[in-house]
Amino acid sequence: MQNKGKLLIVDDDKSILRSLKILLDDEFEIVKTISNPNLILSEYQKGSYDVVLLDMNFSAGLNTGNKGIFWLNEILKTDIHAIIILITAYGDVDLTVKAIKEGATDFVIKPWNNDKLISTLKSALKIRQSQLKIKKLDKEKDTLSAELNKSTEKTIGSSPAMNKIFSFIDKVAGTDANVLILGENGTGKELIAREIHQKSKRSSKPMISVDLGTITETLFESELFGHKKGAFTDAKEDRIGRFEVANEGTLFLDEIGNIPVSLQSKLLTALQKREIIPLGSNTPVPIDIRLISATNKNLDELIQQGLFRDDLYYRINTVQVDLPALRERKEDIIQIAEYYLKIFTLKYEKHLLKFSKNAIDTLQNYNWPGNIRELKHTIEKAVILSSGNTIQADDFMLKKITSNSDWPLKFEEIEKAAIKRALTNNKGVIVDAAKELGLTRQTLHNKINKYKL
């Protein structure tokens, strides 16, 4: 269905407003009329109007057009791309030129010709829609560029555990079923999501990733659903949300177990209705996405504790896959290490590097509490620090937790130990510690607070 647009008409003559509303009601989705120019800015911001039909004179006996030009400039201060048609009873050519130079889109003269007025307004609406389309494409381009710049890493492994995962991917990829990926931090949940997307019917469209563990409650709706300019203090321009950017593609919601209960209903509503409403707007935007979610949390326990909605759980969990920890598929460790060795020797131009036997033994015997992410960063550090053509065990700079007797009983203890080690290695500098762990600064900060480190 074609968007008929929203029209705001401003004229101090109420009889003219009534006539214009009758004429244009069927031509536009919404026609709003106001006679007091002092209400223009609040009404314009509230309504997100596509076109403004603005009278040039608001004081009896004053026909200079200065009032109209004043309000023209006020609207343009709010929205530099506003489409404004000025209307006056005085066909002054100089005034017309001045108004166009000030930013008016067009100019009509009272008494108007109905067909010509409608044609002028419809042309103005097309300009507005083209502007919005360009802005949307620019926003999508920025987001997609960020996604494309992400690593094109692959899921590596040939163990029985991973063969089951690959079989799962083949079975679900061709469907539109919502997928929930469970697994410890660093097990490669986003890589699995990308594998599913790349083998799906939506592979020609984007996969947009959102780390819900880094989004504050105040920015949740803006980030996912978008916002209109002026929706809140720092909303200086319209922004398209991740749902809309992912339209016709895949939306990957990582750390979904971190969403506060107060926001889960908003996510559930969007998924159920297949539409979102940007902040500051009353107009629903239809969305067509394939949803993949991931978490390292036990959602069943969270549901029992009242921290996760069961109806949201069922919505996101049409099919579920549990990724094994790296320690549970030790036969894949060297294959993964060799894969990252090729990547980092190319990146750092150390093409002749290879692992020594003691390095291979060390990699094989370490329990990898940080899983693939820790292995990846360990290989990168070793490539950087290595001397000569052979990586030795000491180049890995691994610390303890190397045998089953050292292994903590709970994942939280492993994570806490890894964070402590990273903070020690980086002298308490959170940014550097986060980089070592492969986390964002905000996620690491949240975990430090969680463990009271």
Residue 143 lies in a domain: no
Mean pLDDT on 261-286: 92
327-358 pLDDT, tens digit each = 999 999 999 999 999 999 998 888 889 999 99
pLDDT in tens, 367-378: 999 999 999 999
Q: How many domains does the structure of the chain reveal?
A: 3
Same domain, 218 and 259: yes
Chosen domain end from 278, 301, 322: 322
The whole-number pLDDT of residue 142 equals 57
Judgement on whether residues 343 and 396 belong to the same structural domain of the protein: yes
SS3 122: helix
Of 322, 340, 365, which residue constitutes the final position of a domain?
A: 322
Same domain membership, residue 317 and residue 203: yes
Report the CATH number that the domain containing residue 70 is assigned in CATH. Answer: 3.40.50.2300
pLDDT recorded at residue 408: 46
Q: What proportions of the chain, in percent to the nearest 5, are helix, strand and coil?
A: 50, 15, 35
CATH number at residue 345: 1.10.8.60
Q: Do 380 and 245 share a domain, yes or no?
A: no
Pick from 340, 321, 317, 339: which is nearest to 192 by CA?
A: 321
Give a yes or no: residue 1 inside a domain: no
What pLDDT score does 131 carry? Answer: 77
Is residue 185 domain-shared with residue 236, that is, in the same domain? Answer: yes
Cα 429–Cα 435–Cα 439 angle in degrees, nearest 5 = 110
- 268 lies in which domain range? 150-322
* Complete edge-to-edge strand list for the sheet that includes strand 207-211: 207-211, 250-254, 290-295, 179-182, 319-322
Q: Which two tokens stand for residue 451?
A: 């463990």
156 lies in the same domain as 108: no
Tell me the CATH number at 243.
Answer: 3.40.50.300
Within a domain: 413: yes
Q: How far apart are CA 205 and CA 193, in angstroms?
A: 14
Among 322, 343, 367, the domain boundary falls at 322
Same domain, 308 and 197: yes
Closest C-alpha to 180, from 287, 172, 201, 154: 172
- Tell me: do 126 and 163 sit in the same domain: no
Q: Which two tokens stand for residue 180?
A: 């929930």
Residue with tokens 């314009």: 44
Tell whether 24 and 83 lie within a shared domain: yes
Residue 432 CB partners (closer than 8 Å, separation 6+): 426
Residues 441 and 364 in one domain: yes
- Identify whether the C-beta of residue 452 lies closer than 8 Å to the C-beta of residue 420: no
| Residue 289 falls inside a structural domain | yes
Q: Which of 119, 85, 111 is nearest to 16 (CA)?
A: 111
pLDDT in tens, 148-179: 545 578 899 999 999 999 999 999 999 999 99
Determine the length of the chain.
Answer: 453
What's at 72, amino acid-wise? L
The answer for 69, left when phi > 0, alpha when psi is -120 to 50, beta otherwise, is: alpha
Phi, psi of 416 (to 5 degrees): -60, -40
Is the residue at 182 inside a domain?
A: yes
Long-range contacts of 118-122 (CB under 8 A, 24+ apart): 118/23, 118/24, 118/27, 120/85, 121/7, 121/24, 121/27, 121/28, 121/51, 121/53, 121/85, 122/27
Per the domain annotation, does 104 fall within a domain?
yes
Q: Say yes or no: 103 and 225 in one domain.
A: no
